Amino acid sequence: KQEVTQIPAALSVPEGENLVLNCSFTDSAIYNLQWFRQDPGKGLTSLLLIQSSQREQTSGRLNASLDKSSGRSTLYIAASQPGDSATYLCAPRGSSGDKLTFGTGTRLAVRP
Amino acid sequence: GAVVSQHPSWVICKSGTSVKIECRSLDFQATTMFWYRQFPKQSLMLMATSNEGSKATYEQGVEKDKFLINHASLTLSTLTVTSAHPEDSSFYICSARDTRRGAKEQYFGPGTRLTVT
């Protein structure tokens, strides 16, 4: 059974800082891994998807890396802004089937 | 592109009644849809997976007779919470994927907050 851990659980930083969110998973047999953003009381917005054969993906100020063999992924946010405040979730997808397993997320607060 | 909507966005119902939640893919055909539940301060837990035209597959511990899922068309799935109780109060989120096109991402709806009084 896949288990996903995200560290830290919560993070508060001043605007402009670069930061790293960590995700670890127990079963390395994954098809891909997605990073999502969730605003309070809202659904999920997909940020980045990394295939199992890829090492990293970039979108704007976001960069996600994947080390499948060690069961780790990181989300790097450059030059953080107050609008980045949200909960960030990682979700690896198993190599068989469609199931995404979610971590409990990192709650990010970026102070102006 | 790849927009998923849910209706209603929130609903309050009395204990013992049934509630139906709709999930629609607006600009693609969702051959596979997923229903998740999220309790406060917790992560999303997959409840069931449904493929258009076939019965849903439920995750362990999810009562299929209580949470009825109908994937009626390539753009619509419904989740009916039957005989709802206060412990069913939660945030329900659906997602969809076009498996026929080999799409890799699941696209998520905005969620429905259910409160059972």
Collect all residues of chain B within an 8 Å Cβ-Cβ radius of residue A103.
43
Per-residue model confidence (pLDDT) at position B113: 96
Whole-angstrom distance, CA of residue A48 vs CA of residue A25: 17
Whole-angstrom distance, CA of residue A110 vs CA of residue A101: 27
* Nearest alpha carbon to residue A109 among A90, A89, A87: A87
DSSP code, position B59: P
Give φ, ψ of B87 to 5 degrees.
-70, -10
Lowest mean pLDDT among A80-84, B16-20, B31-35, B49-53: B49-53
Amino acid found at B108: F
> Band of the pLDDT at B101, cuts 50, 70, 90?
low
Interface probe with B: pick from A5, A98, A104, most Cβ of B within 10 Å:
A98
Answer whether A102 sits within 8 Å of B43, measured CB to CB.
Answer: yes
Omega prior to B8 cis, within 30 of 0: yes
* Nearest alpha carbon to residue A108 among A14, A24, A25: A14
Per-residue model confidence (pLDDT) at position B102: 66
Distance of CA A5 to the CA centre of its chain: 10
Q: Is the pLDDT assigned to residue B23 strictly greater than 80?
A: yes
pLDDT digits (tens, 9 = 90+) for A9-67: 999 999 999 999 999 999 999 999 999 999 988 889 999 999 999 999 999 999 999 99
Whole-angstrom distance, CA of residue B6 vs CA of residue A32: 26
Per-residue model confidence (pLDDT) at position B14: 96
Q: How many residues does chain A have?
A: 112
Answer whether A45 sits within 8 Å of B108, measured CB to CB.
Answer: yes
| Inter-CA distances, B36 with A7, B29, B69, B79, Å | 23, 19, 12, 10
Whole-angstrom distance, CA of residue A109 vs CA of residue A10: 8
**DSSP secondary structure, A5-69, as one string:** EEE-SEEEEETT--EEEEEEES---EEEEEEEEE-TT--EEEEEEEETT-SEEEETTEEEEEETT
> Band of the pLDDT at B31, cuts 50, 70, 90?
confident
Q: Which residue among B6, B46, B93 places its CB closest to the CB of A99?
A: B46
